[in-house]
Amino acid sequence: MPVMRTSKGNVTQAARNKSGMKGDEDKKGKFPVFDERSALSAIKLRQSELAQQHGKYVPIALKIAPDLDDAQIAAIAALLMMHRIDAVIATNTTLARDAVAGLPYAGEAGGLSGAPVRAASTRVIAALAHHLKNEVPIIGVGGILSGADAQEKIAAGASLVQLYTGLIYRGPALVRECVQRLA
Ligand SMILES: Cc1cc2nc3c(=O)[nH]c(=O)nc-3n(C[C@H](O)[C@H](O)[C@H](O)COP(=O)(O)O)c2cc1C
């Protein structure tokens, strides 16, 4: 998977989320139309079958994009609660380029991670927390490059945080800093 480094962020040409939630791609026929409601039902049914079969319940988290408006976030929150999804991970990389406008590689295609996605991810977490009212735990990820960034996600409503790009720039010391900040 090609990765392009920008200012404290990476542009990743990753397989995009193929749900209708990512925008108009599905409608243009690029991907098959994806019905979130029946897909989540099918996933929960299979989760339950496998739990019975193996005597072990494995939680399933839905991961979402930061490029969602408030109505889309509200709709996703309703689906998460309706289907009793175990957790939501907010967020994946962004397709937006506002935070890196004018920088080298800003025009490259793919998902952008790191510092440029931080604010958008935190906004999605806060909106999700508002709608979910603690019914579904939120795993906060996106642009955590310091303990303060991790605290921002928790303050916005996340129960856990995930480090990704921050580990590339800061190494394992970032984990210690986050733990100390959140202690
Ligand atoms: C090189 C790279 C590969 C990634 N691969 C995946 C993946 O396979 N599945 C996934 O859910 N998220 C993937 N992500 C998204 C990250 O898990 C994370 O949600 C996103 O990068 C935002 O967090 P960050 O700013 O800390 O990197 C990838 C991100 C990068 C930079």
| 22 inside domain | no
The CATH number linked to 164 is 3.20.20.70
Q: Which residues of the chain have pLDDT under 70?
A: 1-34
| 111 inside domain | yes
| 28 inside domain | no
Show the tokens assigned to 81: 């609660």
| 45 inside domain | no
Any atom of ligand 1 within 6 Å of the Cβ of 109: no
Residue with tokens 């299979």, as numbered in its chain: 46
Q: What is the pLDDT of residue 8?
A: 54
Q: What is the pTM of this model?
A: 0.85
**Considering its fold, how many domains does the chain have in total?**
1
CA dist 95 and 107 (Å) reads: 10
How far, in Å, are 72, 74, 156 from residue 141 at the CA level? 19, 19, 12
Q: What is the pLDDT of residue 34?
A: 61
- Which residue range(s) make up the domain with 174? 59-182
Q: How far is the CA of 148 from the centre of ligand 1 (A)?
A: 20
**Are 117 and 142 a contacting pair, CB within 8 Å?**
yes
| 79 inside domain | yes
Which ligand 1 atom is the nearest neighbour of the CA of 118? 25
Q: What is the pLDDT of residue 10?
A: 55
